[in-house]
Chain A
């Protein structure tokens, strides 16, 4: 290393300090949640828990193990992620492939794509959608969680852009050999698009896992709530509060270790897939940025 100018040293220190500050701001609140979940409730109430748990115990977690609704909701969420992922991928692939073809090969594309973009940008709002779902008798079934968002338009556009980058020569050769569009899609396009497929699959998994709202409006019984809705209902029950005094009481009351444990457990599946997410979403954003 060459010798460092004092000005450079000062600016280096400032830059590192600011970046570390930003990074810690993301990390510490989460670590604090984890610490709370392992702490004694008195220590939590007295606000003595920082980054390390105090009076370490597993009461919150053993209580959680016995919370049958939590695990029921956990399973509903897993089921909906699997089902939702399959449905999303089916529609993403079957729509993206024809729409990635040129205007010359598939003139109707221009009309379809207008519909798809319009569907992405304009919504009738939650009330008419709710009525459609309830008129189809989907409420209180798992279908209400996966069908309304069956076509993830953003993912479709992302995959269209990726498919467009696949060399035409591959496609051409297969067509001359008499392969049907579906054969070409399955045997040529899908295998070369694995990174893009992984990207849209991960987006879809995260969306389904994190969604609480469809559970909230479409499920009338709490026994059918997916996990995020279940947590939302228990931790954010502040809509009934009308004065500051009540809010103060609520936040000091001690469900805090228990709630923290719920939050931690519900986040574990995301942390498991996070390395993959991180690997793919940057490339996903880059593909997505290419204009349709």
Chain B
């Protein structure tokens, strides 16, 4: 008892200080890891302003200022890559909202619990499979003699080389990405749907509103805040067109429409070993993405009162 009161007396000063010290110590290992694997590479990005050669190292290589960036912007390739990235990412942004919202609304109309659960179990699955695995599945589906072309042939059309045709490649990327993620993306909308007051539907039904009208005037408006939030957050990702997917599905025939910033950086930097150029492209993307994400998060907070950070 005596000891306890002594401890309590010290608590206000000594104890709290000791606790803060412990907190710093607990954070130390994690901060060291972040320093090594996030902040040191960030510092290494100064390669983007050098004519880096591995033999001379970061400190010995020649400083060239913005030369690398000028060079990149002068290449027709990089303009194409930028356009491809935006087009593919924008397509994904739009359909990764529309389809999950639609699916959530329809699934919510199914009241038989067993079926609802089963459907959910199945549609969430592709999200957890890697693009390495799904690339094989997608290639199989879209191959010249695969199921989709079989249907096209049966309907009297000519088979299409979806993954080797510049007219189709982007569409297939958007479609298959939406296919992989719509179940997972619908989770947030399903959660929002459960909070709608059922009394609203009863009232509307008494007023003679049919199901379609109810969805249009009750369900959709109640989903709107979530839709706005998700759109804003995804806007921050507009330069991420999906490296894993495209890297595992593209080929030189469709570079023209399918090559994105990340795949380009990989080929230039990791394969061709033009470190400075690759880093410059990557840095350019990181900076723009960072600004977009900060902006999107601000916008989301303003419109809906919540962001991710």
A-to-B contact residues, CB < 8 Å: 7-8, 11-12, 15-16, 18-20, 22-23, 25-27, 29-30, 32-33, 36, 47, 90-91, 94-95, 97-99, 101, 105-106, 108-109, 112, 115-117, 119-133, 136, 147-151, 153, 156-157, 175-176, 178, 180-182, 206, 209-213, 217, 228, 231-232, 235-236, 238-239, 241-244, 247-248, 251-252, 256, 259-260, 263, 266-267, 270, 274, 277-278, 281-282, 285-286, 288-292
Q: Which residues of B contact A242 (CB under 8 A)?
A: 252-253
Taking the closest CB of chain A, its distance from the CB of B32, in whole angstroms, is: 10
Q: Are A119 and B38 in contact (CB under 8 A)?
A: yes
Contact between chains at A94 and B30 (CB < 8 Å): yes
- For A29, give its contact among B31, B137, B251 (CB under 8 Å): B137
**Contact-residue bracket for chain B:** 35 or more
| Residues of A contacting B143 in the complex (Cβ-Cβ under 8 angstroms) | 251
Q: Are A22 and B38 in contact (CB-based, < 8 A)? A: no
Which stretch of B20-28, B64-72, B82-90 is in the interface? B20-28
Q: Can you spell out 27 A-B residue pairs with CB atoms less than 8 angstroms apart?
A: A11-B211, A20-B119, A32-B147, A36-B140, A94-B30, A101-B23, A115-B31, A119-B38, A121-B289, A122-B38, A124-B43, A124-B45, A126-B269, A127-B275, A129-B37, A132-B41, A180-B22, A181-B22, A181-B23, A182-B26, A232-B132, A241-B253, A243-B253, A256-B140, A266-B133, A277-B128, A278-B120
B306 cross-chain contacts in A, Cβ below 8 A: 289-291
Main secondary structure of the interface of B (DSSP, over half): helix
Interface residues of B in 1-58 (CB under 8 A from A): 4, 7-8, 11, 15-16, 19-20, 22-24, 26-27, 29-31, 33-34, 36-45, 47
Contact (Cβ within 8 A) B144 A151: no
A277 to chain B, nearest CB (A): 6
- In the complex, which residue of chain A has the Cβ closest to the Cβ of B8? A176
Contact B135 A236 (CB under 8 A): yes
Q: In angstroms, how far is the closest chain B Cβ from the Cβ of A262?
A: 9
A255 to chain B, nearest CB (A): 11
Q: Is the CB of B27 within 8 A of A95?
A: yes
A150 in contact with B33 given A47-B145, A125-B265, A127-B282 (CB within 8 Å): yes
Q: Collect the chain B residues with CB atoms within 8 Å of residue A151's CB.
A: 30, 33-34, 37
Q: A98-B27, A123-B41 are in contact. List 13 more A-B contacts (CB 8 A).
A: A19-B103, A23-B118, A23-B122, A26-B183, A29-B137, A123-B38, A124-B38, A127-B282, A157-B309, A175-B19, A206-B128, A209-B130, A292-B309
Are B244 and A182 in contact, with the CB atoms below 8 A? no
Contact yes or no, A119 B133, CB < 8 A? no
> How near does chain B come to A81, taking the closest CB pair, in angstroms?
13
Selected from A27, A105, A248, the residue in CB contact (under 8 A) with B144 is A248
Contact of B133 among A15, A133, A263, A286 (CB under 8 A): A263
**Pairwise interchain contact A231-B122, C-beta atoms closer than 8 A:** no
Expressed in whole angstroms, the Cα–Cα distance for A279 and B252 within the complex equals 41
Q: How many A-B residue pairs have CB under 8 A?
A: 276
Q: Select A212's contact among B130, B144, B301, beta carbons within 8 Å.
A: B130
**Is B154 among interface residues, defined by CB-CB distance under 8 A?**
no
B139 within 8 A of A: yes
Alpha-carbon gap, A232 to B47, bound state (A)? 30
Which residue of chain B has its CB nearest to the CB of A213? B244
In the bound complex, how far is the Cα of B177 from the Cα of A56, in angstroms?
Answer: 32
For B287, the closest partner residue in chain A by CB is A122
Across the interface, name the chain B residue whose C-beta is closest to A16.
Answer: B110
Q: Does B278 contact A (CB under 8 A)?
A: yes
Residue from A26, A211, A244 within 8 A of B179 (CB atoms):
A26
Contact A244 B164, beta carbon cutoff 8 Å: yes
Contact with A along B199-224 (1 / 0, CB 8 A): 00000000000111000000000000
Q: How distant is A174 from chain B, measured CB to nearest CB, in Å?
A: 12
